[in-house]
């Protein structure tokens, strides 16, 4: 099963948190998308995902990961 990206309901300590039980990365809504993508890429690299320079985010199985629009659009900017 592929990594899911979910938007946190509450304020969390990190921009992106890995939950191995749910195979989900919980992200802080309203995070600037540059920060969000950078932190997600770093977290996925830690999980063993192949890095694709200049490309999108990749799951550790090699499939592309899409960031939910609400993760970027939510919250005050």
Task: Decide: is 23 part of the binding site for Zn ion (CB under 5 A).
Answer: no
Name residues whose C-beta falls within 8 Å of residue 6's C-beta, 6 or more positions apart in sequence. Answer: 24, 25, 26, 27, 68
Among 14, 19, 63, 70, indicate the residue that binds Zn ion (CB under 5 A).
63
Contact (CB, 8 A) for 32 and 15: no
Cβ at position 49, least distance to Zn ion in Å: 8
59 scored as a contact of Zn ion (CB under 5 A): yes
Q: Give DSSP secondary structure letters for 51-73.
A: P-TTS-EE-TTS-EEPPPHHHHH
Q: Is 49 in the site for Zn ion (CB under 5 A)?
A: no
Which is nearer to Zn ion, 50 or 75 (by Cβ)?
50
Q: Could you tell me how many residues of this chain bind Zn ion (CB under 5 A)?
A: 4
2 binds Zn ion (CB under 5 A): yes
Q: Phi/psi at 74 (nearest 5 deg)?
A: -65, 155
Residues in contact with Zn ion by CB under 5 A are 2, 59, 61, 63
């Amino acid at each position: 099963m592929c990594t899911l990206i979910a938007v946190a309901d509450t304020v969390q300590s990190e921009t992106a948190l890995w939950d191995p039980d749910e195979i989900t990365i919980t992200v802080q809504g309203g995070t600037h998308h540059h920060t969000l993508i950078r932190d997600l890429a770093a977290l996925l690299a830690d999980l063993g995902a192949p890095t694709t320079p200049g490309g999108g985010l990749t799951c550790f199985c090699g499939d592309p990961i899409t960031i939910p629009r609400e993760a970027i659009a939510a919250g005050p900017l």
